[in-house]
A and B are shown apart, each in its own frame.
Chain A
Amino acid sequence: MSYTLRGRIESRLAASLPVVVAACILALAEHRWWPVEAAGLMLGVGLALDLQAYHRLLRYQPGWAALPLGVLELGVVLALMRAAGIAAPLGQAVALFAAGWIVAQLLGHAGFPLLRLGYAEDGGELGRLGAAAAVAVGVALAGAGATAYALRPPVVHLAAGIHQGPLVITHREVLVGEPGAVVRGGIVVRASGVTVKNVGVVGGENGITVEHVRGTVLDGVSVSGPKLDGIHVRLAGVVIKNCTIDMLGNRLGQGIDISYTMDMGQTLVEGCTVTGGMEGITTHSSMTDIVRNSVSRTTMRGISVTEMSMGMVMDNEVRDGAGIGIWCNDRSMCTIEHNTVLDTRPGDAGPGVGVLASFQSEASLWENKLGANPVSASAITQSEVHRGRSFSYR
């Protein structure tokens, strides 16, 4: 087909309408905005390529070209989603794109020619149908955007200084700490959709407790001196980023403990620094990615993935701990890549093992630096350590 520029744009807008509508419905049903963001991005990328590349380069576009162009657009969309921080599950995002592509092909080859007599000879222009489709797409995206804007959680600013806790959050909100804002006695999250940013926590039973809620984001928080765990997550969905946990002097507590979150989807711990404690970061029955963290001076295990957990342990640095550096235990499946585990010394949990798989667990190791550990890597009690890449986001 030889598209005119207007034909390309009208066909693109009209073909994207079903996907945009589906994305809006999905977003409203699941209270997650990534489908709308992804659909908007797909449309934006497509229109930009139509304007800047396709129209100039393709005077005639054979049918087969839709496939490589679709792959190109998918790559650009995924890269932009990653760059923009749109937290979409990869598989679902690709599925949404693929569905949109298939719908566009069906409409372009069959639907539009049947709807509009001169579709081919008009270069893909749809006349009033094209204008109506453009308006409908605009309305759908604007409506979704307006809804998202209206549903934004309120932002609560926590002034600099000491605030006596425990601070219990019972409504969806964004709690932003001013520089120097500290809560003494811990924070308890009891509502879904809560974000806590840049808040310091001192003391408390746990530093921050998140239980039975979804969509919690802890970004830039610091915790020191809790009685039990630094961040304590039970049956909840969380993203923990850029945190600092000081557990020195606490021999039994855990820096970050994420347990029983399998039903809450993927959780993430990224860019945190954990010092001291019995375990630095531990997951039980969870799907958690543990990425780019620094864990040191733990008394039993640096990072542990246990009780039928699944997850990626990537780009972490674990050093100066006792017992075990990274532990994959109790029928868990662990992908352990590009980590550095140094100077693990013998302790109560083990003889100083860099990476240990135990009790019917499977650990895949790839390009880890395991140095100055009495035992580099080991598997016991019907467990396996594979040295080779299994799956990676890289």
Chain B
Amino acid sequence: MRVAIVGSGLAGFTAYQSLRRALEPDEIAVFGTDDDPAATFRRRAAAIRQREMRSESDGHCLPTSFPGLAFRSAVTRRSPAPLVGTLFDRFHPTVGEFLAHVEGLRGRSGWDRSFRNARIDRVRGVGGGFELDGEGVFRHVLVATGHPGLNVPEQLRSDARAVHSYEPHEYGPSVTVVGAGLAAATEWLNALAAGSVVVSVRRREPARRPLNVPREYFSRRGLSGFHRLGPAERAARLRTLLAPSYPPGRAWDEPLATATMEGRFRVQERVNGTRQVICATGFRRGFRHDPLLTRLVEEHDLETADGWIVLDDDASVPGLTDAKRTLALAGVAAHWAFPAADTLAGARYVAHGFLRKVAACRTR
């Protein structure tokens, strides 16, 4: 066995689906602590009561963009509405549809045959590949360890009122929601629907865009310019692109406008005396929060920039990747190569690059 995926979440699962075009399950090892690739996502989506995906038809784990979830939904529902919706970028699969897709794919793809219940804390470059924490040497390794933990603002870490939005919670009579991204916007509507008075605490007005980053950054159209940027410019561009945002539309605006008129929703600059504070502040940022990546950087003296590991355009790690071996990063750690790397489309992008490397290696 020559190919390994470190991490058994959705990024690793998506990469696995692409690898299966060239490899059998017995040729791939997936290391993780949960054999359900959607476990973390399911838990977080349930915590914020997410019903629809932000992603569109191509937000799935298959290696090719077609057939997307709109096509599958049209077949399942026996209705052309999802296909029409996707023509207008209005189709968003439900969380249930997405989870069913993952479940079905897991059963068909041989994922469970490749899964190994083991936590990998160290990836070390050795002759002819990478040694994975005593699990053996693999010629090609994709690291997809996911977000390195939930981010709670410093001043709220010891505050008993505070709960992170991705942790289970209910809504009190008055709720302060810290943050300005999709999770925060979802929490505003959840709390309002539960009858709460909502205070939004945010440092800046959120950007309104359908997807995490502008659409051209999902293809070479926007990526080629992004890849040409120097380290400082690219880091600055990433900070801009990854600023909090949520989609435009009446479904978001009308409840907030109504609640504002009723005096049930307002914006403040700092947390006040409400009895419940929900931190919709996303995840910790930077490889330093991930012990495996920190060790990888330090042991191999990898180049970094402003918290990101510097990667090649296909998300492989320069210096540790050549014609005979590949080390690539997926998910949030691959922002340097693909600004939307922590989306399903981003996971697919990295997976395609990794598959190309594996396929091009004669001694794989």
A interface residues with partner B (beta carbon < 8 Å): 1-4, 7, 59-60, 62-64, 109-110, 113-114, 117-125
Question: Which candidate, B85-93, B152-160, B269-277, B304-312, is the interface stretch facing chain A?
Answer: B85-93
Asked if B258 is at the interface of the complex by the 8 Å CB criterion, the answer is no
Q: Which residue of B has the minimal Cβ distance to A64?
A: B87
Chain A residues within an 8 Å CB radius of B220: 4, 7, 121-123, 125
From known contacts A2-B221, A64-B87, A122-B220, infer whether A109 and B66 are also in contact, taking CB-CB under 8 Å: yes
Q: Which among A2, A4, A120, A121 has the greatest number of chain B C-beta atoms within 10 A? A: A121
From known contacts A64-B87, A110-B66, infer whether A120 and B58 are also in contact, taking CB-CB under 8 Å: yes
Of residues 51 through 98 on chain B, the ones whose CB sits less than 8 Å from some CB of chain A are: 58, 63-67, 86-89
The answer to whether B215 and A2 touch across the interface, beta carbons within 8 angstroms, is yes
Question: Which candidate, B23-31, B112-120, B317-325, B347-355, is the interface stretch facing chain A?
Answer: B347-355
Chain A residues within an 8 Å CB radius of B221: 2-4, 7, 59, 123
Within the complex, the shortest CB–CB distance from A254 to chain B, in Å, comes to: 57
Which of A3, A110, A121 meets B352, CB within 8 Å?
A: A121
Within the complex, the shortest CB–CB distance from B211 to chain A, in Å, comes to: 10
Within the complex, the shortest CB–CB distance from B314 to chain A, in Å, comes to: 10
A sample of 12 cross-chain residue pairs with beta-carbon separation below 8 angstroms, ordered by A number, consists of A2-B221, A4-B219, A4-B220, A4-B221, A60-B214, A113-B65, A113-B66, A117-B64, A118-B352, A120-B58, A121-B223, A123-B219
Interface residues on B, range: 20 to 34
Within the complex, the shortest CB–CB distance from B106 to chain A, in Å, comes to: 21
The answer to whether A110 and B218 touch across the interface, beta carbons within 8 angstroms, is no
Within the complex, the shortest CB–CB distance from A64 to chain B, in Å, comes to: 5
Asked if B216 is at the interface of the complex by the 8 Å CB criterion, the answer is yes
The answer to whether A117 and B355 touch across the interface, beta carbons within 8 angstroms, is yes
Q: Which residue of A has the minimal Cβ distance to B58?
A: A120
Do most interface residues of chain B lie in helix, strand or loop, or is the interface mixed? Answer: helix
The answer to whether A119 and B65 touch across the interface, beta carbons within 8 angstroms, is yes
Cα–Cα distance between A248 and B355 once the two chains are bound (Å): 85
Do most interface residues of chain A lie in helix, strand or loop, or is the interface mixed? Answer: loop
From known contacts A4-B220, A60-B215, infer whether A113 and B64 are also in contact, taking CB-CB under 8 Å: yes
Q: Which residue of A has the minimal Cβ distance to B352?
A: A118
14 more CB-based (< 8 A) A-B contacts, given A60-B216, A109-B66, A117-B355: A2-B216, A2-B218, A2-B221, A3-B221, A7-B219, A62-B88, A63-B86, A64-B87, A114-B66, A117-B21, A119-B64, A121-B220, A122-B220, A123-B220
Pick the 6 closest A-B CB pairs, nearest first.
Answer: A63-B87, A2-B221, A113-B66, A123-B220, A123-B219, A2-B219
Instruction: Report the tally of A-B residue pairs with Cβ distances under 8 A.
Output: 70
The answer to whether A120 and B63 touch across the interface, beta carbons within 8 angstroms, is no
Q: Which residue of A has the minimal Cβ distance to B353?
A: A118
Chain A residues within an 8 Å CB radius of B349: 118, 121
Within the complex, the shortest CB–CB distance from A224 to chain B, in Å, comes to: 63
Asked if B18 is at the interface of the complex by the 8 Å CB criterion, the answer is yes
Cα–Cα distance between A118 and B359 once the two chains are bound (Å): 15
Cα–Cα distance between A109 and B221 once the two chains are bound (Å): 18
Q: Which residue of B has the minimal Cβ distance to A117?
A: B352
Chain A residues within an 8 Å CB radius of B21: 117
Asked if B345 is at the interface of the complex by the 8 Å CB criterion, the answer is yes
Cα–Cα distance between A113 and B89 once the two chains are bound (Å): 18
Asked if B224 is at the interface of the complex by the 8 Å CB criterion, the answer is yes
Cα–Cα distance between A1 and B64 once the two chains are bound (Å): 14
Asked if B222 is at the interface of the complex by the 8 Å CB criterion, the answer is yes
Chain A residues within an 8 Å CB radius of B89: 62-63
Chain B residues within an 8 Å CB radius of A120: 58, 65, 218-219, 345
